[in-house]
Chain A
Amino acid sequence: MIAELGHFALVLAMMVAIAQSIVPMIGAYQNNIPWMRFGNHSAMGQFLLVAISFGCLMHAYVTSDFSVLNVVQNSHSAKPMLYKISGVWGNHEGSMLLWVLILAIFGAAVAAFGQYLPPALKARALSVQAMIAVGFYLFIILTSNPFERVFPPAVDGQDLNPLLQDPGLAIHPPMLYLGYVGFSMAFSFAIAALIEGRVDAAWARWVRPWTLAAWGFLTGGIALGSWWAYYELGWGGFWFWDPVENASFMPWLIGTALLHSCIVVEKRDTMKAWTVFLAILAFSFSLLGTFLVRSGVLTSVHAFATDPERGVFILILLLIVVGGSLALYAWRAPQLRSTGLFQPISREGALLLNNLLMGTAAGVVLLGTLYPLFIDAISDGQDKISVGPPFFNAVFIPLMTPMIVAMAIGPLLPWKRGDLGKALKTLWLSFALAILCGLATWTLQSGQSPWGIVGVAIASWLIIGTLTEVAGRIRLFKIPVGDSVRRFINLPRASWGMTLAHLGLAMTVAGVTGAGAWTVERVQSMAPGDTVQVSGYDFRFDGAEQKQGPNYLATEGKFTVTKNGNFVTVLYPEKRTYTVRQMATTEAGIHTLISGDLYGVIGDSKSDGSYVTRIYFNPLVVWMWIGAISMMIGSGLSLSDRRYRVGAPTRTSSSTQQPQAAE
């Protein structure tokens, strides 16, 4: 009964969404306050219903109700409780339900926290958002219903893909979806603005927090996915330029551009059409990502052709959303008037440069992701090419290097027109330290890739440059230190956010550079007692033993790591075989140091009692995760800036008094 209640709640939510996509839109057109307000209540109602629906599915998983097909296919009575819960979204149907749940959460958030929004803008945005929701409800109920029943019920389930039975992946999809779906809000505001034919400062203020929230979650989602790949796949790698990864990276790049162009719209009343375009693009890329991952196109174009129902549905949805919004854009965007003017060398110019580089980068990733699919499709599966890391590294690094160089300069330039020479003079210390770090790297590394040197140099340039900007703001050493500290504490949260996000990126660049350029890998066969030396650390293999997990058998190896005879740590890598799905997974043993990760993997055993082992030293990897966390905290701080809590005007339309700024 509970599963059926979930099904009914979902259907009811779809009907509410249909009403929400019509009533507030007409209300905004006719300036009918109750009709517009209908959007708030329906958004709340939708959230309530989808939450009930999601809870019902979770109940079926937790109680192992094997009369629900989705539970049979993705759960098992012996599975640990955490993965019974995360199994809810660890599959296609459940993850789509999570998608609409997050969509409903964002809708309800606009309804609840958007009391300062112009009512017509809010009504239209909620209406557009409901239209997106209707598409996804239909998709779920017609092609991917998680509440499908089997009768008589199965004896037991088929278990969740063991690769997904992992704490990192338990929270990765919700984070990623919060990011993807968050961009739907920016999209809805963009479409609402196009319908209204006006993009103004109030609009920009309201799009930016949603973009910030989405961007922060997406950053976290991508970082978690990458972290998971790093410790679970056992290759010591963290990013493979795999299409699924690219699918989440493209919206991130465009979202980053959007984040920056919103500032220009608010502060300078210009770049409006461009910003609206980016908002449409960011969500389109999110949908494209959903399509790529959910349609089966990635495994093979032909897998898509054999079971086209879902793929074609999302493809049509994608075409309607992207095609429709771009057509509306072409029709209405020319009416968006911009008043602000600026010189190329200025804060606006720097932000525009960021936009162009981010946009190009997203375009390049798109090309690299879709090209193999395209070739596969037109050659009818005869030609298969793969576009891998060499391509992406070759085009991505040259794009990102100038961007990071410009990132240190941009915040130092004033609005409207700036003096590049003056900004560069401020950065003399960064320049000197970047050269110094580059030279130090060059001496230390034994003639390997030049990108290692460039990476370290630009990372240190950006770190010092960002700190220089903060030092300038608090006038460090120009006024008494106590005053500087006071200024430091009183800096607006938005500026804290920027500093942390930029520092985070610099740390990530350092981590990527370290792991990319100087990873040391040793693959060998080791008998118990054997020792292998990697980057100055001695890894002694102490043998392996069999262990019985709740739903898997594991071979757990033991490595004792010493450096110059001093004990460092013990690593316990595992190789697990999940009995139900008969799949093997690796769990790397990792010990994190500031300078790098000690990383051990145990492989198959040989007849003589030895094991194949892989030992890595991955320099600086931890800085990637610290960097990602720093970016997330930055987005959160920026989001909490007081600017986003400016109140609603209070005067009535007949009065001519000045409105009160709600401060």
Chain B
Amino acid sequence: MMFWLFAGLLALAIFLVLLLPLLSGARSSVSRAEYDINVYKDQLVELEKDAADGRIGQSELAAARLEIQRRLLAADEEASRLIPKRSKGGSLPIIMTAVTVPVLAFAFYNETGSPEIPNFPLAERTDIQTANEDTGQAPMAELARSLEERLLENPDDRRGWVLLGRTYATIGDPRKAAAAFQKAVPLSNRHPEVLADWAEARLMARSGEFTTEIFADFIEAREKDPTLPKPWFYIGLDKAMGDDLEGAAQIWTDLLAIVPENALFSDAVREQIARAAEQGGFDAADLKPSETAKNIALGMKSSLPENSSASSSPAAPGPTQEQMKAAGEMSAEDRMAFIQSMVNRLAEKLEENPNDRTGWERLIRAYEVLGDTEKEQAAKARLEALPAN
């Protein structure tokens, strides 16, 4: 309501301003030539001054004076010959204009504006703060700050920066997360996992808008370690944002083939594929993992898919001979190490969020497969210690 009051006052003010020309009495008009006469007379004065100061010679003075006087005479003659036309037209058109202008403005504004949305100055907003309190993130933010202070003194601590980045990512501050990962990337010699985390954080900071750099980093991470799920997921996402839904679904299908069956995010990826299939109008069941993906999954990886992207079209280089060879020679040990890293990550996640029952169940199964009885027992104990819901 306040808005309409102020808008109304503004419109009223303009209405009055536009009526003003009617109020001041109409002076009779002066012939146009008389303005010229004024200028010419001034030129004459200036000319005499120039001559008096010795800036121009006597002959120049005479010639210039003659010329200006001739123009003066012509203008004077015009002024007396042309009597200005009498004024026509009344005040009604102006009144009508003054009324129409605000009316049209209101009509136009109604089409384009959103008068119902109030101000949201940051200082008075409560929604952001409560959101943080609800999820108990305040202590984590505190933790992040003290970690950051420590890191500024000891900036070469790669693991510290990674931890800081993940903490910020969890709190939901991707900008600070990106800044932290950025520190870790050179320290880790562009380790694919760190690189992928960095790219993800930047992507989040840009509200999911890809840049060539971000895309290139995901490609690089995938080239360095084709078993990392994150790059596959986001490369697929980039395809989906470029409207290549089927291509995206294909990449995600490959991802599912590469990661262990019961990986944490598998359900989320399946959901993505299903949504892409629905939007793109194709059957997700028709999608089969590509040969490349199967090879990667079997640790016999031969070659990577092309790095083409619909929306970003980056100039990322293809895999080098060395990388291809290294990937092809991926041993059973490497594959084991990968699974181990996935399990460790799950364990880390559960430390942060220990109330996740299904998570603990997955972890126990994973330890069972790996044959790590000691940890399996510890995890079981943790699960049993949880209060039943």
Interface residues, chain A, CB within 8 Å of chain B? 1-5, 7-9, 11-12, 14-16, 18-19, 23, 26-27, 30-35, 37-38, 40-42, 44-45, 48-49, 52, 60, 63-67, 77, 116-121, 141, 145, 147, 149, 151-153, 155-156, 158, 198, 200-202, 205, 266-267, 269, 339-340, 414-416, 473, 475, 487, 490, 492, 546, 548, 553, 577, 579-582, 643, 646-649, 651-654, 656, 658-659, 661-663
Contacts and interface: CB of A to CB of B under 8 A. Distances in A.
A33 B35 contact: no
A640 to B, nearest CB: 16
Contacts of B202: 582
28 contacts: A4-B113, A4-B117, A5-B10, A8-B105, A11-B113, A16-B18, A27-B89, A30-B85, A31-B85, A32-B88, A35-B93, A38-B94, A41-B17, A49-B10, A63-B119, A65-B119, A65-B122, A141-B108, A152-B127, A198-B32, A201-B71, A415-B60, A579-B178, A580-B175, A643-B42, A653-B28, A653-B31, A653-B83
A652 B86 CA distance: 13
Interface in B183-212: 202, 205-207
Contacts of B43: 201, 267
A414 B18 contact: no
B195 to A, nearest CB: 13
B323 to A, nearest CB: 21
Given A31-B85, A34-B22, A11 B17 contact: no
Contacts of A149: 114, 117
B34 interface: yes
Contact of A33 (B42, B87, B206): B87
A19 B103 CA distance: 13
Contacts of B88: 30-32
B203 to A, nearest CB: 10
B32 A414 contact: no
Nearest to B54: A475
B357 to A, nearest CB: 31
A617 to B, nearest CB: 32
Interface residues of B, number: 88
A661 B7 CA distance: 46
B40 interface: yes
Nearest to B87: A32
Given A15-B102, A52-B10, 11 more contacts: A4-B115, A11-B113, A18-B101, A38-B21, A67-B118, A116-B35, A152-B127, A473-B55, A553-B179, A659-B34, A661-B41
B176 to A, nearest CB: 7
Most buried by A among B84, B86, B118: B118
Nearest to A2: B119
A200 B31 CA distance: 13
Contacts of A492: 46
Contacts of B21: 34-35, 37-38, 40-41
A193 B39 CA distance: 17
B114 to A, nearest CB: 5
Contacts of A151: 114, 117
A580 B202 CA distance: 8
Given A151-B117, A653-B30, A11 B108 contact: yes
Most buried by A among B11, B91, B93, B123: B93
Given A34-B22, A414-B56, A653-B30, A153 B120 contact: yes
A30 to B, nearest CB: 5
A12 B54 CA distance: 57
B104 interface: yes
Contacts of A35: 21, 89, 93-94
B14 A12 contact: yes
Nearest to B46: A643
Interface of B: 2-3, 6-7, 10-11, 13-14, 17-18, 20-22, 24, 26-32, 34-43, 45-46, 53-56, 60, 63-64, 67, 71, 76, 80, 83-89, 91, 93-94, 97, 100-102, 104-105, 108-109, 112-115, 117-123, 125, 127-128, 152, 155, 175-176, 178-179, 182, 202, 205-207, 213
Contact of B38 (A2, A60, A66, A659): A659
Nearest to B102: A12
Contacts of B175: 156, 579-580
A202 B36 contact: yes
Interface of B is mostly: helix
A264 to B, nearest CB: 13
A41 B20 contact: yes
Contact of B29 (A33, A145, A582): A33
A580 B94 contact: no
Contact of B105 (A15, A27, A661): A15
Most buried by B among A27, A35, A121: A35
Contact of A41 (B11, B18, B67, B85): B18
A580 B88 CA distance: 63
Contacts of A202: 32, 35-36, 38-39
Contacts of A553: 179
Given A23-B93, A553-B179, A649-B30, A487 B39 contact: no
A94 B60 CA distance: 54
A653 B40 contact: no
B216 to A, nearest CB: 13
A35 B97 CA distance: 11
Contact of A656 (B10, B80, B114, B127): B80
Contacts of A41: 17-18, 20-21
B119 A67 contact: yes
Contact of A653 (B2, B29, B71): B29
Nearest to A494: B46
Contact of A16 (B24, B31, B101, B179): B101
B122 A582 contact: no
Nearest to B125: A153
Contacts of A145: 112
Contact of B123 (A33, A63, A473): A63
Contacts of A580: 175, 205
Contacts of A653: 28-31, 83-84
A40 B38 CA distance: 23
Nearest to A415: B64
A16 B14 contact: yes
Nearest to A142: B112
Contacts of A65: 119-122
Contact of A38 (B10, B18, B35, B56): B18
Given A202-B38, A473-B55, A45 B14 contact: yes
B109 A23 contact: no
Nearest to B60: A414
The 8 closest A-B pairs by CB, nearest first: A63-B121, A64-B122, A649-B34, A37-B21, A12-B105, A67-B120, A202-B35, A579-B179
A367 to B, nearest CB: 31
A1 B3 contact: yes
Most buried by B among A4, A19, A340: A4
B14 A8 contact: no
Contacts of A581: 206
A372 to B, nearest CB: 21
B53 A651 contact: no
A118 to B, nearest CB: 5
B53 A12 contact: no
A577 B31 CA distance: 65
Nearest to A200: B36
Nearest to A577: B182
B64 A7 contact: no
B10 A9 contact: yes
Given A41-B21, A42-B18, A582-B202, A4 B30 contact: no
A548 B179 CA distance: 11
B254 to A, nearest CB: 28
Contact of B122 (A66, A646, A658): A66
A215 B94 CA distance: 36
Nearest to B89: A32
Given A5-B3, A8-B10, A31-B86, A647 B38 contact: yes
B17 A663 contact: no
